[in-house]
Amino acid sequence: MKFLCVPCDRPMKIDRTRSDRGAIAVTYGCPDCGYEFAMLTNPMETQVVSSLGIKIGADGSAEGSKCPFTGIVQGIGEPDSRDSFPWTPEAEARLAGARPVNPEAYEAYLKGMFHRDKLSSADLETALQYFELALEKDPNYALAYVGIARVWGSRQQMGFVLPHEAGPRAKTAAQKAIELDSTLAEAHHTLASIKAWSDWDWEGGETAFRRAIQLKPNYPAARAIYSHLLMILGRPDEAMAQIERALELDPLNGLFQGFYGMDLLMARRYDEALAQFQNTLKTAPNNPMLRTGLRDALYALGRYDEALTEVKTRFAAAGERELAEALERGYAEGGYREAMRRAAETRAARSDTTFVPPLGLASLFAHAGETERVLEWLEKAYQERDPNLPYIGVIPLFDIVRDDPRFQDLLLRMNLPGRVDG
C-alpha cells in the first residue's frame, strides 16, 4: 500500500518524521511537484496502531519507497478482526449502511478537492469537472455532490459568481449529499457553511457544524471553518480552540493555516497574523485569501508602503493592469490613501457593466479612508447578500465606520454582535 500524489500519480515519499510524547507525525512529499501532506497519530492512536503490529513510516517496497502501513496484514491477523474492538451502535449502523466505493469516483473526488482548495477561478472550474466525472462513475456518490457544493460556495465567496446564482446551486448539491448519506460529516459541514455565509442563519449554521464534528470528531475542515463562524458571533476563545485543534489534526494544510491567519487578524493579534500569512504564502504564493489577509495585517500595523506593494502584487497576478496604473498615479499624487482611492474608483466604475463584489470595494474605500463610500458599498453588499459581509463586525478594517449609526444599523439587521450598545 502506498500514498499517491493525485495530480502527478506518483508514489509519495517520506520527507521527515517527528515524535513527541507518544504522538507521531510523518510528512510525505511528491518527488515531482513537491506537494506535501502529513499523517498524525495522537498518543492513544499510536498505541492502538502499535498493538496491531503496524510500523508507521516503515520501509515498504522493493524499490525503497516507504509504506505507512508495513506489516498491517500480518499484524491484524484474521480478516474479521473488527469483532475484537468495541463499536458504538452508531458506528455499527454506519458500517451496515456503508456503500461500496468506486475507486475511479474516489480518485476524481480527490483530484477535485486538490484544485478546489487553491481557490482560483481556473482551479475551481477544474475541480467542478472532476466532481462531475466522479458522478459519471457513480451517480449516487455523496462526496461528489459535496465537492460540487463547495465549488459553488467558493465561487460565491471569492466573488467570481453572483450570490443569487451560486448560493442555490451550492445548497441543492449539499442537500443531495445529505439525502444520499445523512451520516456524512463532509455534507453537514458543507451545509453549515451555506447556512452561515449564504443564508446568514447563524443558529442553523452552528447546529450543522456541531453535527459534522459529532459525526467525525477528528475532521479538521469543519473545525477550521467553524472557527470563523465563532469569530463572527463574538466568541473568539472558542474560535481559537477550534482552529488550533484543526491544525493539530492537519498541521501542513495551507488552507487551514490561512484560516488561522484570518482568526488572528480578527482577534487583533496583528504581528502574529502577519507572520502567519507570510509563512503560509511561501507554499501558496497565489492564494487570494492569504494575499488579502497579508494586506490587511500590514495596514493594521501602519506599514502602508508594504501594504501597497502587496496590493500591486495581487493586481499584477490577476492581470489587472488598469488598477495597477491607477495605484501608481494615485500614489504619486497623494500617497497610500490616494492610491487606494484611485483603485477603488476605477473598480467601482466597472460595476455598471460587470459584477464587482461590493464588500471588496468597501474594503478598498476603507483603506482610502473614504467613510461615505465605505458605507455606500456596505449597504450594496447587504442588498446583494455578499457572502463575506458577516465578517464586518470583526474585521478591524471597518473600525473607521464602526461608531456610525448606519453601520450599527447594518449589524442590527444582520443580527450580528459588535454593536456599540452591546
Give the whole-angstrom CA distance, residue 31 versus residue 13.
7
Whole-number pLDDT of residue 418: 65
Whole-number pLDDT of residue 59: 43
Whether 298 maps to a domain, the answer reads no
Whole-number pLDDT of residue 30: 79
Identify which of 177, 134, 159 has the alpha carbon closest to the alpha carbon of residue 289.
159
Render each residue's pLDDT in the chain as its tens digit; 422 residues: 567 776 666 777 776 666 555 556 677 777 777 677 766 665 555 555 554 445 554 444 444 444 444 433 333 334 444 444 555 666 566 666 666 778 899 999 999 999 998 888 899 999 999 999 999 999 999 999 999 999 999 998 888 888 888 889 999 999 999 999 999 999 999 999 999 999 999 999 999 999 999 999 999 999 999 999 999 999 999 999 999 999 999 998 888 999 999 999 999 999 999 999 999 998 888 788 898 999 999 999 999 999 999 998 888 877 888 999 999 999 999 999 999 999 999 999 998 888 899 999 999 999 999 999 999 999 999 999 999 999 999 999 999 999 999 999 999 999 998 654 44
Q: Which three cell numbers stand for residue 51?
A: 498493538
Whether 72 maps to a domain, the answer reads yes
Whether 14 maps to a domain, the answer reads yes
Domain end: 27, 50, 77, which one?
A: 77
Whole-number pLDDT of residue 81: 46
Q: Which three cell numbers stand for residue 411?
A: 449589524
Whether 308 maps to a domain, the answer reads yes
Domain that holds residue 410: 304-414
Whether 41 maps to a domain, the answer reads yes
Domain end: 77, 108, 136, which one?
A: 77
| Domains: count for the chain | 2
Cα–Cα–Cα angle for 404, 372, 309, nearest 5°? 110
Whether 169 maps to a domain, the answer reads no
Domain end: 77, 95, 126, which one?
A: 77
- The one-letter amino acid code at 308 reads L
